[in-house]
Amino acid sequence: MKLIDKYILRQFLITFVYVVFIFISIIVVIDIIEKLEDFHNMPATVEMIITQYYLNFIPYIANTISPIMVFIATVFVTSRMANRTEIVAILSSGVSYVRFLRPYLIGSSILAVITFYLINWVIPDANKVRVDFENTYIKSRYYFDQRNVHIQVAPEVYAYMESYDNIYNIGYRFTLERIQDGRLMEKLEAPRIVWDSTKNKWHIDRYMLRKINGMKEELSFHDGVDTTLNLSPEDFQSKHLFNEKLTLPELNEYIALLKLRGSENVQMYLIEKYLRFTYPFAMIILTVIGVLVSSRKSRRGVGAQIALGFVLAFIYILFFILSRAIANAGNMPAMLAVWLPNLVFAVIGLFIYRVTPK
C-alpha cells in the first residue's frame, strides 16, 4: 500500500468514526431528554440505565446510521482533498481514477465486514438486554389478548388454546391434534396447560385422549403429565423489536419455525434477514458515490458538496423506507424490495462514473 493510500484510508476511517461519534452523541442526548421522566419514575438505578440500556443502545444506533455516516464521511474527506487540489495532483501524476478509488474501497470493505459481524451477532445480543429493559421499565406491561390461538407445533400436529395468560404462563381450553391426510387421528383435550419453569416443560392437567382408527374410536382419561412441545412462553410475550434480538443463526431457526407453523409474520423476519446482508453492500456503494460526487473542486466550496451529500443521503433514507414498506406490504418479493435501494444507487453510481471527467 502506497503512502497516498494510507493517507486517504486514515483520513476516511478517522472521519467516519468522528462523524458517527457526533451523531450518536446528539441522538443519545435527545433520547435522554425524551425519556427523562420515565427514568425518574422507574425503579431502575442510574447504573442499570447506563449499563443495560445506553451501552447497548449506542451500538444499535451506530449500526443503524453507519451507511449514511460512511457516505457523509466520504463526501467530507474527498471534497476537502478536492478543494486543496490534492486530487488533481494525484490524477496528474498518472494515477487512474479507479486506482484513486482503491483506498476508499478498502476502507468501506473493512467497515462492511465489521458491520456484517456486528449486525448478525454482537448487536442482537446487545438488543436482548436493551429491549428487555425497555419492556420492563419503559413500556406498559404487555398482556397477550388474542383468543382461539392455533399453532402447528410439528408436522401433522396442531395445538389450540382458547386463551393464554402470559403473566402466569397458563393456556386455557388446550387441545393437541394429529391430522393425517385431512383426517383427525388423535386429539388430546385438557382444561389448561401450564409452563413449569423449573423443568422447562409444559404440565398438562387431567386430560382426555381420543384415538380414531377408521370407524373405531378409543376414549381414555389420564392424570396430569409433563411434556415438551415445539412451543414456549416466549411465543406469547411481546414481539416488540423481537426480530432485532435474534442472531443470524437464531433468525434462520425462527424463520424455519414460522414456516412450519404457516405463520403470516414470516415476511417480517425474512425482510430482517435480507436487510442484514444489504447493509454492508450499501456502505461500499454509498462510498463510491460519495467519491464521485465530491472529487471535483467546486467554486461553492466544501460546504456545498457536504450539503449535496446530505441531500443524497436523505434521498437514500426515503428510498430505503419506501422499499421496506413495499416489502412489508407483500407487493414485491421481499429480497428484491430490500435490495432495490442498493441496486438503484449502484446504477446511479455507474451513471455518475460514466459522465464524470477522468
What pLDDT, in 10s, does the model give residues 165-201?
999 999 999 999 999 999 999 999 999 999 999 999 9
C-alpha grid cell, residue 14: 478517522
Helices 301-329 + 334-355 axis angle, to 10: 150
Region of 138 (left: φ > 0; alpha: ψ -120 to 50; beta: rest) is alpha
Nearest 10 degrees: Cα torsion 62, 249, 156, 268: 20
Q: What are phi and psi of 202, to 5 degrees?
A: -90, 140
Alpha carbon distance 282, 98 (integer Å): 19
Give pLDDT tens digits along the chain (358 positions): 689 999 999 999 999 999 999 999 999 999 999 999 999 988 999 999 999 999 999 999 999 999 889 998 998 999 899 888 899 899 988 899 999 999 999 999 999 999 999 999 999 999 999 999 999 999 888 999 999 999 999 999 999 999 999 999 999 999 999 999 999 999 999 999 999 999 999 999 999 999 998 889 999 999 999 999 999 999 999 998 999 999 999 999 999 999 988 888 898 999 999 999 999 999 999 999 999 888 877 666 666 767 777 788 788 888 888 888 888 887 788 899 899 999 999 998 898 888 877 6
What would the grid cell of residue 280 be? 454492508
SS3 content of the chain, % helix, strand, coil (to 5): 65, 15, 20
Strand 183-196 with 149-154, pairing: unpaired
Count CB neighbours of 83 within 10 A.
17
C-alpha cell of residue 249: 443463526
Per-residue pLDDT tens for 285-333?
999 999 988 887 766 666 676 777 778 878 888 888 888 888 888 778 8
Q: How far apart are CA 245 and CA 60, in angstroms?
A: 11
User: What per-residue confidence (pLDDT) applies to 101?
Assistant: 95
DSSP symbol at 233: G
Give every CB contact of residue 234 below 8 A, 6+ residues apart in sequence: none
Q: How far apart are CA 102 and CA 310, in angstroms?
A: 23
Q: Report yes or no: 292 and 358 within 8 Å, Cβ to Cβ.
A: no
- From the CB of residue 192, how many other CB atoms can be counted at a distance below 10 Å? 20
